[in-house]
């Protein structure tokens, strides 16, 4: 079977570890967000949502025409699936657009107890070929999140042979284990990675040590000197910003950004960039070009070095983290705009990181609107002039060079 593919605008799907991040992601252009509930997910340390928060998130998303998906992608052991039927039924009642599931037991429970709630296959299920997609289609699933190990050529072939929706990761962390199925954390910290407790053992620093006596530790590689680590199990992050045409032309329906535990600075920046890139391509595919400012923008948020993962080649040692960092983000998030007075040109700001008078700062907002200015003066909540804003979440006011809007962000070079 060969299917005709038409150019279709992909969904920009952003992570939302909290209600604040959900609203930020949608405000900055995400067409959909994925969140976690209080159970059945793989991010136990993320700010997972209560049912009340989910309902508020869905209501907010509806005003923007956006969707909310819930990740329930844990691998269940005996007893873990207890209560899942009621959980999925509640999600359906709230108006969740789909659940992301990997375990066949949870898929069966969802289909039986909450019929009509769409199910997407999680990347944890390692879907890498068209036969797998067709199998899950017969089970009633409408979308499959492909394994991160799938190449661009394989996506093209899959797309030609099935009409199942394809979701693919396009930015964020890469797992060193196949499709995230890892037991390092289980062995090394007694935290089950596949039931939400991953301690990220692959990100730890490793060396070979001589330990002849209790309490002594001498590196066999550096003769006891402290140097950059020589061993690594840690992959660099993925970024596909320079390959938007390939993803769209090969029929990827949803562009997934990793990072439910990342900051609102990260979520707003990455969603903003990919929204801009997708809109630019769809507006004029024949004359599209990836702008350097988009690439530079992504480097303003905290992340590891970047590569294209498995899309074009098997990653080499260059796609692993070891030794000295080759590139480091140089900006930090310092605040967000709460209000703006048109008459005075003064903005009310909530501080997120230390900054002071004379600092060069950058404002940015949805739609890729940016401008720089120097902080000339600022006042605290009592109206007193202050030289610095050292206290986290403090409220202050300051004149700004251009009009801003609530939700705009502020950052500066470290």
In this predicted structure, the answer to whether residue 238 has a pLDDT above a threshold of 60 is yes
Q: Does 253 lie in the same domain as 350? A: no
CA 396, 27, 21: angle at the middle one, nearest 5? 75
Same domain, 363 and 215: no
Round to whole Å and give the CA distance between 144 and 209.
44
Do 105 and 32 lie in one domain? The reply is: yes
Regarding whether 314 and 346 lie in a shared domain, the answer is: no
Is 80 exceeded by the pLDDT of residue 285?
yes
On the question of pLDDT at 47 being above 70, the answer is no
Q: What's the rounded Cα separation, in Å, for the pair 139 and 189? A: 36
Whether 230 maps to a domain, the answer reads no
DSSP 36-85: E-SSS-S-TTS-PPPHHHHHHHHHHHHHHT-EEEEE--PPP-TTTTTTHH
Domain span including residue 357 = 331-413
Mean pLDDT (whole number) for 245-273 = 96
User: How far from 243 is each of 30, 143, 250, 327, CA to CA, in Å?
Assistant: 19, 22, 11, 20
Length of the chain: 414
- Do 363 and 383 fall into the same domain? yes
Give pLDDT, residue 11.
Answer: 98
Q: Are residues 201 and 98 in the same domain?
A: no
Residue % of the chain over a pLDDT of 70 = 91
Whether residue 207 sits in one domain with residue 162: no
Q: Say if residue 118 is in the same domain as residue 168.
A: yes
Does some domain include residue 229? no
Residue 345: CATH number of its domain: 2.40.30.10
Cβ-based neighbour number of residue 325 at 10 Å: 10
Rounded Cα distance, 300 and 327, in Å: 11
Identify whether residues 15 and 103 lie together within a single domain: yes
Number of structural domains (the chain) is: 3
Q: What is the pLDDT of residues 338-393, one digit of tens each?
A: 999 999 999 999 999 999 999 999 999 999 889 999 999 999 999 999 999 999 99
Domain end point (choices 189, 219, 249): 219
pTM (predicted TM-score): 0.90
Q: What would the pLDDT profile of 94-110 be if each residue is shown by its tens digit?
A: 999 999 999 999 999 99
Mean pLDDT of 136-146: 97
């Amino acid at each position: 079977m060969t299917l005709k593919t038409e150019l279709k605008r992909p969904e920009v799907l952003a992570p939302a570890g909290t209600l604040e991040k959900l609203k930020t992601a949608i405000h900055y252009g995400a067409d959909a967000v994925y969140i976690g509930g209080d159970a059945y997910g793989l991010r136990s340390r993320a700010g997972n949502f209560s049912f009340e928060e989910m309902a508020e998130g869905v209501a907010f998303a509806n005003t923007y025409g956006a969707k909310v998906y819930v990740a329930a992608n844990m691998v269940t052991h005996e007893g873990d699936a207890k209560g899942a039927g009621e959980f999925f039924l509640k999600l359906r009642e709230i108006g969740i657009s789909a659940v992301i599931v990997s375990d066949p037991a949870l898929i069966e429970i969802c289909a039986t107890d909450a019929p009509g709630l769409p199910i997407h296959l999680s990347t944890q299920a390692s879907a890498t070929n068209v036969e797998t997609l067709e199998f899950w289609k017969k089970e009633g699933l409408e979308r499959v999140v492909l394994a991160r190990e799938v190449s661009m050529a394989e996506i093209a072939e899959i797309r030609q042979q099935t009409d199942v929706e394809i979701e693919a990761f396009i930015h964020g962390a890469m797992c060193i284990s196949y499709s995230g199925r890892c037991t390092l954390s289980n062995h090394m910290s007694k935290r089950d990675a596949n039931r939400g407790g991953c301690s990220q053992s692959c990100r730890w620093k490793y060396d070979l040590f001589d330990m002849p006596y209790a309490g002594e530790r001498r590196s066999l590689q550096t003769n006891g000197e402290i140097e950059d680590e020589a061993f690594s199990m840690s992959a660099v992050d993925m970024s596909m910003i320079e390959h938007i045409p390939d993803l769209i032309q090969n029929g990827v329906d949803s562009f997934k950004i990793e990072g439910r535990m990342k900051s609102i600075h990260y979520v707003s920046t990455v969603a903003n960039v990919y929204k801009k890139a997708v809109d630019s391509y769809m507006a004029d595919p024949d004359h599209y070009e990836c702008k350097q400012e988009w690439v530079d923008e992504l480097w303003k948020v905290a992340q590891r070095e970047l590569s294209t993962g498995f899309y074009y080649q098997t990653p080499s040692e260059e796609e692993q983290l070891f030794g000295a960092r080759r590139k480091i983000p140089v900006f930090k998030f310092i605040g967000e705009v709460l209000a703006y007075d048109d008459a005075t040109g003064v903005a009310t700001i909530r501080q997120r990181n230390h900054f002071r008078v004379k600092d060069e700062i950058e404002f940015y907002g949805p739609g890729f609107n940016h401008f720089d200015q120097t902080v000339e003066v600022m006042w605290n909540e009592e109206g007193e002039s202050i030289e610095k804003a050292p206290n986290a979440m403090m409220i202050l006011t300051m004149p700004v060079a251009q009009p801003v809007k609530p939700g705009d962000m502020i950052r500066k070079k470290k």
